[in-house]
Homo-oligomer: A and B are copies of this chain.
Amino acid sequence: VTPERVAIAGLGLIGSSIGAALRRAGSYVSGYDPAAPACEAAESLGHVQSASTDLSAALRGAQLVVLAAPVAAILDLLQPATVAAPGATIMDVGSVKGPVVSHMAELEDAQRCVGGHPIAGKETSGAAHADAALFMGRPFVLTPHETTTPETLETAENLVALLGAKPIVTTAQEHDRVVARTSHLPQVLSSVLASNLLPGDAEYAGSGLLDMTRLALSDPSLWTGILKWNRMNITSELRRAAAQLELLAAQLQRESLPEVFDFMESAQDRARELRREVAA
């Protein structure tokens, strides 16, 4: 089922990509962005049929509103979106779900709100890099709260299907715990590696170093927000990783090589398991 009218609030990489996919599926897609150049880019590239810096104008008549902005902006947009699009399903696609879903639950129109997070992206940003196929085969987490109606969740699941993504329905809390491990810690470790590089190190760069520092290219402002909003889970992941590095340093210093080997071997096992599970 293709929704007739969809509004996308936030015309960056993710919002524009969702717009492009929905247009292709046959929806009329209107876009909102506070920045006029973002509106112009998304409209001229054809990711949305119309775009406006006026939220009410962009959301009017939509059956589905997708909030595709950094978490802080999503929090600001939620209540105005329920007013601008009465009766519409309101879904966000922010990277951290706890604070968004808590805020949704407090709204008068809580029952038509649902959290979402596509596990897809690029280290680039903006409408210019948008891609209707960005979500194909990728996980898309949906986090309803206690009063989200089954119809609201169904509308969100329908959107996930139109994007070609694989839905995972879970709680905001579980989502935030898992992504701290699978997305936010990898981001920080990539940034740690990159931040320590010295002039001349590039001469020695292999494909491993380039792969391991790719995430560090991501937008620091966006990531500061993600780290902030998921700070409880992330600080615990950071401290666990720091303790592991300290332990390994101590083992190496006293040449406890069987312990070092066990660590490297169990990591290899997990890395293989991950690939088997992803392929399955």
Contacts and interface: CB of A to CB of B under 8 A. Distances in A.
Contacts of A113: none
Given A183-B206, A196-B240, A209-B274, A265 B220 contact: yes
B120 A261 contact: no
Interface string A246-274: 10110011010100110111111011111
Q: What's the number of copies of this chain in the assembled complex?
A: 2
A97 to B, nearest CB: 12
Nearest to A261: B224
Secondary structure of the A side of the interface? helix
A37 B214 CA distance: 39
Interface stretch (A74-82, A84-92, A148-156, A184-192): A184-192
A188 B120 CA distance: 26
Nearest to A234: B252
A245 B243 CA distance: 10
A1 interface: no
Interface in A212-232: 212-221, 223-224, 227-228, 231
Given A183-B209, A186-B212, A191-B263, A242 B246 contact: yes
12 contacts: A138-B206, A191-B268, A194-B274, A195-B266, A196-B237, A196-B244, A211-B211, A213-B270, A220-B261, A220-B264, A224-B264, A241-B242
Interface of A: 119-121, 138-139, 141, 168, 178-179, 181-183, 185-198, 200-206, 208-221, 223-224, 227-228, 231, 234-235, 237-246, 248-249, 252-253, 255, 257, 260-261, 263-268, 270-275, 277-278
